[in-house]
Amino acid sequence: MSGDAEASAWGQAREMNAVESLMWRAEADPRLRSTITSLELLDTTPEWERFLAAHDWATRLVPRFRQRVVEPALGMGTPSWVVDPHFDLHYHVRRIQLPAGGDWSATLELAEQLAMTPFDRSRSPWEATLIEGLPDGASAYLLKLHHATTDGLGAVQLLGMLHSTTREPTPGKPQPRAPAAEHTTPTDLLGRQVSRDAAGAPALALRNAAAALRTLQRPNQTLGRAVRFGASLRRVLADPDTEGSPLLRDRSLSWRFTTLDIPFAQLRAASKTVGGSLNDAFVAALLGGFRRYHEELGSPIDSMPIAIPISVRKDDDAEGGNQFAGARLVAPVGIVDPQERMRAIGALVKRARSEPAVAALGLVAPALSRLPAPIISQLAGSLTKANDLQASNVPGIRDDRFIAGARIVRAYGFGPLPGCATMITLVSHGDLCCVGVNVDPAAVTDGPRFERCLHEGFDEVLALAPEARPPASNGKPKPKAAAKPKATSRATTTTKTKAKAPTT
């Protein structure tokens, strides 16, 4: 293909929206770092030069990966994406060899360290690492992004576009040129935004006047909508009416990862026993794990504050970026029956989605994002630090995908801990639900017990499905077994991997 081929439309917005600005600026408090991490298990180890070439191509296809964030002078405008004149692929793409005998546990320990390391904010906020040395020639691919770049669904859009559908190279793929470097200073950026806002002020005033006239023509209807929206806004912005867990109260700067593999069809079948969704079953299983953890440690609870993202992305929205709203719920931890728990979760989520003010943060964020960073951190932290759990369910890629000749066997997502105790993310991949668990070890002080309790929480939900079987694995995935996932006991055995070497 010609070097004049067009770049992708993914992530083309040059200015952050208000929510992205909040996430970027809230990091004045290091506990509010918004790093999202994708960790994929590969069936073999890609050839390094081909792996590098794939990333060079990706940064030309998606210019966002050659852009850094520039803050307007005095922090008075909107952070914007500018092509980095000093972009260096060598900085962003790395390779690390595990020590001899390295396994999935060692991979997770390394992933934790990489994810906790803050970004260099003078560069494009992403890093890719090939982790070599897993048993039987396998490897892992870690992609680390700042949340201001995209949300979970945007990340799946990105990976779906960049990952290949074949193990063999595709020499005919489009080859866009690298974007031209931009030398934009904070003062330049502020000047442009002030000039643009001033030029648009008359048109904005006319639109506001027209809206006011329409309001005067239908005062009763407008007043009714305003009252309903105001009531909804109070419900959405209010703190959940429950106390946080006494066991999960402490917070630190540290993250700890673990993974679970759950059969997709079985979890979905369990949800259908109550007419619910996969997400209802997922959250109900998590709450079952939290209930067991608290009971075993002699501190049972009936409820706890949690948060879930609700996508507000529309079909005609641009790809990439962040299009979500957060719903904070009083989670029914104390409900023992898993079916009753699923019904309760389904009702809570349905009610949250139907709130007129569900995207309230997007309404107040423009004003908040212009405040000094320390104040932003304080306000943003007040919305997240009380959460004992943030849970996210991301529809992933169901067919086979490859990176530089290596097949992706598992795909886990690890969300950040913006002051909350735990972040647990489900990504559907192939026939599995790959669950990435991120916990603050100051809050979850008995990690092995917590992991076992989560498994048992999924066990009781999966047992509702016809021909129920236990979860597929104990979070220590085996490359060969993933070709056709079968439920096995948690006491899995090592499986040899036989895979063709990638072609170049």
Amino acid in the structure at residue 203: A
Residue 124 structural domain: 18-176
Asked if the structure places residue 191 within a domain, the reply is: no
As a whole number, mean pLDDT of residues 61-87 equals 91
Distances from the Cα of 74 to the Cαs of 71, 119, 190, 372, 488, in angstroms? Answer: 8, 22, 8, 9, 58
Distance (Å, rounded) from C-alpha 224 to C-alpha 475? 52
- Residue 108 CA to residue 256 CA, distance in Å, equals 8
Length reported for the chain: 504
Q: Among 362, 305, 293, which Cα is nearest to 331's?
A: 305
Q: Tens of pLDDT along 481-504?
A: 433 333 333 333 333 333 333 333
Helices (H), 276-433: 278-296, 338-353, 360-368, 373-384
pLDDT at 205 over 70: no
d(CA 126, CA 36): 10
The mean per-residue pLDDT over the stretch 280-294 comes to 98
Tell me how far apart the alpha carbons of residues 89 and 279 are, in angstroms, rounded to a whole number: 38
Phi first, then psi, for residue 95 (nearest 5°) are -135, 140
Question: Can you give the pLDDT at residue 202?
Answer: 65
> Distance between CA atoms of 378 and 363, rounded to whole angstroms?
18
Token pair of 183, please?
């030398």
Decide if pLDDT at 231 tops 60: no
3-class secondary structure, 134: coil
Mean pLDDT computed over 471-478: 60
Q: Which residues contact 165 (CB under 8 A, 6 or more apart)?
A: 399, 400, 401, 402
Backbone angles phi, psi at 75, to 5 degrees: 65, 30
Q: Is residue 11 part of a domain?
A: no
Write out the E strands in 212-298. Answer: 256-263
Q: How far apart (Å, rounded) are the C-alpha atoms in residues 431 and 477? A: 14
Per-residue model confidence as pLDDT tens digits over 366-394: 555 565 666 655 555 556 678 999 999 99
Question: Which range has the worst mean pLDDT, 9-13, 55-59, 137-141?
Answer: 9-13
What confidence tens digit (pLDDT) does each residue in 412-469 have?
A: 999 999 889 999 999 999 999 999 999 999 999 999 999 999 999 999 999 999 876 5
Active-site residue, from 147, 294, 429, 455: 147
| Predicted local distance difference test score (pLDDT) of residue 125 | 96
User: What is the tens place of the pLDDT at every residue in 311-363?
Assistant: 767 777 777 777 666 788 899 999 999 999 999 999 998 888 776 655 555 55
Please name the amino acid found at residue 101: G
Residue 304: pLDDT above 70?
yes
- What's phi and psi for 425, nearest 5 deg? -125, 130
CA pair distance 403, 153, nearest whole angstrom: 20
- Looking up tokens 């055995």 gives 493
* Of residues 386, 461, 402, 467, the one with CA closest to residue 426: 461
**Sequential DSSP letters for 281-307:** HHHHHHHHHHHHHHHHTT---S-EEEE
pLDDT at 86 over 80: yes
Q: Total domain count for the chain?
A: 1
Instruction: Work out the pLDDT band at 188, boundaries 50, 70, 90.
Output: confident
Does residue 263 contact residue 432 with C-beta atoms inside 8 Å? yes
Residue 334 contacts residue 303 (beta carbons within 8 Å): yes
- List C-alpha distances in Å: 459 to 411, 415, 456: 21, 24, 5
Residue by residue, what is the 3-state secondary structure of 432-460? Answer: EEEEEEEECCCCCCCHHHHHHHHHHHHHH
Q: Which residues contact 488 (CB under 8 A, 6 or more apart)?
A: 470, 472, 473, 481
308 in a domain, yes or no? no
Range in 76-85, 217-226, 259-268 the model is least confident about: 217-226
Q: Is residue 222 part of a domain?
A: no
Alpha carbon of residue 380 to chain centroid: 18
Q: Which two tokens stand for residue 143?
A: 């992609």
The neighbour count for residue 233, using CB atoms within 10 Å, is 17
Cα–Cα distance for residue pair 99/385, rounded to 1 Å: 36
Give kind and range of the element (H or E) at residue 311.
Answer: strand 304-311
> Which residues on adjacent β-strands are paired with residue 143?
38, 128
Mean pLDDT for the chain? Answer: 82
Point out the least confidently predicted range of 349-358, 393-402, 471-480: 471-480
Q: What sign for the dihedral angle of Cα 356, 361, 364, 365?
A: negative
pLDDT at 16 over 80: yes
pLDDT of 473: 60
Distances (CA, A) of 318 to 104, 143, 176: 36, 22, 20
pLDDT band at 49 (very low <50, low <70, confident <90, very high): very high
Q: Which residue has the higher pLDDT, 20 or 408?
A: 408
Flag whether 172 is in a domain.
yes
Which pLDDT value is given to residue 203?
Answer: 60
Q: Has residue 109 been placed in a domain?
A: yes
Of 470 and 412, which is predicted with more confidence? 412
- Please tell me which residue, 426 or 230, carries the higher pLDDT value: 426
CATH number of the domain to which 28 belongs: 3.30.559.10
E-strand spans in 133-236? Answer: 139-146
| pLDDT above 70 coverage of the chain, percent | 76
Whether the pLDDT of residue 254 is over 60: the answer is yes
Q: Is 92 a catalytic residue?
A: no
